[in-house]
Amino acid sequence: MKYPLDCEISFDKSYLFWLCRFIRNKITSLSNRQVKDKNRLAQILHELITGYNTISELKSSIKEVRNIGINSIHVYFIPLEKLYNFLINFGAASLKEIDEELLSDFLASETANLSDATKKNYRIALISFFGYIDKQNEEKNGFVHRYGIELKNWGGLSGKSGTKLPSFMKKEEVQRFIQAIDKYEFSNKIAARNKLIIKIILYTGIRVNEAINIDLKDFNKDEDAYIIQVRGKGNKPRVVMIKESIIENDLKEWLEYRLTNENLLFCNQKGKALSQAYISSIVEKILLSAGIRKEKNGAHMLRHTFATMLYQKSKDLILVQESLGHADINTSRIYTHFDKDKLKRTTDIF
């Protein structure tokens, strides 16, 4: 069914109407292999058809959708939420006022300090959103409004100079962080679980999303180590390994306390998966307790730390690529920027 472009009495309601339908469309097109609560997801999809009264209500549902297991939906929502606030401040009265020039202004102001990768995500979100509206709007007289947004001439991407180097811990900071993990005072019931998942992320470099979805059947002991099979982006499987001595105490304690019959290694008391936001908040608290401050203090920084140290010790870019599960070796190449041995050679030129 198609709807008029300005289908509500106010601009903010019309925008929210289309955003809810677009988000629903994206949820149904993204991979649902890791969905934990199918009934709740079906309920949210119905709510998106009914619509929400405020952008805050929609934002809460997006967070819940991510926790359920559709993690990449925020890549679309965040830019479109910011566009909503931008247009409200702009004083837009109709969706017909939006054009490519206005969207370029939005991108210029909102993405100035972001990496090229994030800027590309913003551009894709805008093109997808207005492309969806192009196909779904129609007035009573049969007229269809076409945005035709392409943003080909947007000059916000600055090439390699716009790519940010990732935050990571130095060797001395890693040692302090590891000590802080064991010293940090968690609730007794979840201490072992939290320590275990953080150590696995740090020592294997797996993504947070991969860690919170580890299945018990994919976590197996092999001599003095544990072999873990994880599924990365695009549902691609790979294997990582961690020494038994690093996690044996926390693992034993957690498995003894773990009361659920669910297959997830890491879960709450109801057997549900932990959220990425929860893990990142724990990591940030431990970092602060150790006096370590980085530009980004979340759990993903542990992955960058692992990759940086792996390359520094091995000088093997293929190993870094395979360990991190990068489809393209050029993605792994960023860690060569931290090769101190090569940098030291430059100091001897003169």
Catalytic hit among 66, 193, 207, 231: 207
66 catalytic? Reply is no
Angstrom distance (rounded) from CA 147 to CA 133: 8
Catalytic hit among 123, 195, 303, 304: 303
Catalytic hit among 147, 300, 304, 311: 300
Catalytic hit among 63, 164, 326, 333: 326
145 catalytic? Reply is no
Q: What is the CA radius of gyration of the chain?
A: 23
> Closest Cα to residue 22, out of 128, 103, 143?
128
CB 214 within 8 A of CB 265: yes
Q: What is the DSSP letter of 115?
A: -
Angstrom distance (rounded) from CA 322 to CA 309: 15
Catalytic hit among 176, 233, 294, 296: 233
Instruction: Tell me phi and psi for residue 220, to 5 degrees.
Output: -130, 145
238 catalytic? Reply is no
300 catalytic? Reply is yes
DSSP string, 277-305: HHHHHHHHHHHHHTT---S--STHHHHHH
The contacts of residue 314 (CB under 8 Å, 6+ apart) are 320
Angstrom distance (rounded) from CA 120 to CA 107: 10
Q: Given CA atoms 24, 50, 19, 130 in this order, what sign does their dihedral have?
A: positive
Angstrom distance (rounded) from CA 273 to CA 263: 10
Q: Which amino acid is at 97?
A: E
Residues marked as catalytic: 207, 233, 300, 303, 326, 335
